[in-house]
Amino acid sequence: MEVSVFDSKGKATSKKVTLSDAIFGIEPNDHAIYLDVKQHLANRRQGTHKAKERAEIAGSTKKIKKQKGTGGARAGDIKSGTRVGGGRIFGPRPRNYHFKLNVKLKRLARKSAFAYKAKSEGILVLEDLVLSSPKTKEFKSILADLKLENEKVLMILGSQNDNVYWSSRNLGRIKVVTAETVNTFDVLNAKKVVLTESSIEVIEKILN
């Protein structure tokens, strides 16, 4: 799959790059995507939820009324979960939501996500950005030239570039990651995936 390379002014250059069919041209595996996204969202959960149960509520343990002879149902102490102000019955407890997936399955999921983007023409290849210092205004002008200022964008860099990262940090619709850290959820969550030239080689090396 051959695509044009754009410069930071939004114009197509004479250069073209070939995207590997082994990654961007495969038949997507929906179940692999489902499992990888499910794991990603599960790992983001803090799992610190907690509700007080009967044994943790402050209150008297005195029996409210006698067992028999009142004509009503039996009642124990005021901490019972069936009474207002009582403990929660089977309430949430702190837990770890993490679960394991095989590396090969996670690679397949990322390939499938890239393949979906390639099919829907959601991939744009950009020359490597060179910013002398972190400037959000300059970065916004680059997005405007690429006609992406109102789109949800994932930009993938070949390696860590602090100037590009800090320039984009205040913009809500764009996320900048490196090729080594990109995940299936981010690829699918973006309307447009912007690959820098240096990132393509890294992605193909990791996923192949």
- Provide the residue ranges of all domains of the chain, joining segments of one domain with +: 2-45+98-207, 46-96
Domain 2-45+98-207, architecture per CATH: 3-Layer(aba) Sandwich (3.40)
| pLDDT, position 15 | 87
List strand residue ranges (DSSP E) for the chain, in order. 2-6, 12-18, 123-126, 153-157, 174-178, 192-196
pLDDT in tens, 7-48: 888 888 888 888 999 999 999 999 999 999 999 999 999 999
Which residues, in sequence order, are CB contacts of 201 under 8 Å at separation 6+?
Answer: 158
What residue has token string 């991939």? 123
Q: What is the mean pLDDT of residues 59-83?
A: 93
Report the C-alpha gap between 131 and 162 in whole angstroms. 9
Contact 180, 186 (CB under 8 A): no
Strand, coil or helix: 193: strand
The fraction of the chain above a pLDDT of 90, given in percent, is 79
Q: Is the pLDDT of residue 182 over 90?
A: yes
| pLDDT, position 131 | 86
- Length of the chain equals 208
Q: Is the pLDDT of residue 194 over 90?
A: yes
Q: Is the pLDDT of residue 184 over 90?
A: yes
Q: Is the pLDDT of residue 3 over 90?
A: no
Average pLDDT, the chain: 92
Report the C-alpha gap between 53 and 18 in whole angstroms. 60
Q: Is the pLDDT of residue 192 over 90?
A: yes
Report the C-alpha gap between 65 and 173 in whole angstroms. 61
Report the C-alpha gap between 205 and 195 in whole angstroms. 15
Report the C-alpha gap between 163 and 5 in whole angstroms. 22
pLDDT in tens, 91-136: 999 999 999 999 999 999 999 999 999 999 899 999 988 888 999 9
